[in-house]
């Protein structure tokens, strides 16, 4: 018997993406364990290390110092 709400393609795509990410992570960790067992140093690329090549301080400059509380300062108070 078919379910009332079949699984959507978007949900299935999300689940597959998560599964692939977990599989890649497991493979990477296994490679690191094997390298450590053999006395080798596993080299990481900047992407694997979580580095984007952009300093972390520059990420905060995208908002240009405007927070939600400052953005509402121009609006009059509700009556």
What span, in angstroms and rounded, lies between the C-alpha atoms of 32 and 42?
Answer: 6
pTM: 0.44
User: Looking at the domain assignment, is residue 33 inside a domain?
Assistant: yes
Express each pLDDT in 21-35 by its tens digit: 999 999 999 999 999
When divided into structural domains, the chain yields a total of 1
Q: Which of 31, 65, 60, 34 is nearest to 48 (CA)?
A: 31
For 56, phi then psi, to 5°, come to: -65, -30
Domain that holds residue 24: 10-71
Q: Is residue 5 part of a domain?
A: no
Question: Do you know the residue count of the chain?
Answer: 79
Per the domain annotation, does 63 fall within a domain? Answer: yes
Task: Give strand ranges (E) for the chain.
Answer: none
61 confidence band (pLDDT: 50, 70, 90): very low
Residue 51: inside a domain: yes
In a domain, 79, yes or no: no
């Amino acid at each position: 018997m078919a379910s009332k709400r079949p699984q959507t393609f978007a949900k299935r795509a999300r689940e597959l993406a998560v599964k692939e990410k977990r599989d890649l992570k497991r493979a990477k960790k296994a490679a690191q364990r094997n390298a450590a067992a053999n006395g080798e140093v596993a080299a990481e690329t900047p992407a694997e290390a979580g580095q984007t090549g952009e300093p972390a301080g520059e990420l905060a400059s995208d908002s240009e110092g405007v927070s939600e509380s400052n953005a509402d300062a121009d609006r009059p108070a509700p009556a």
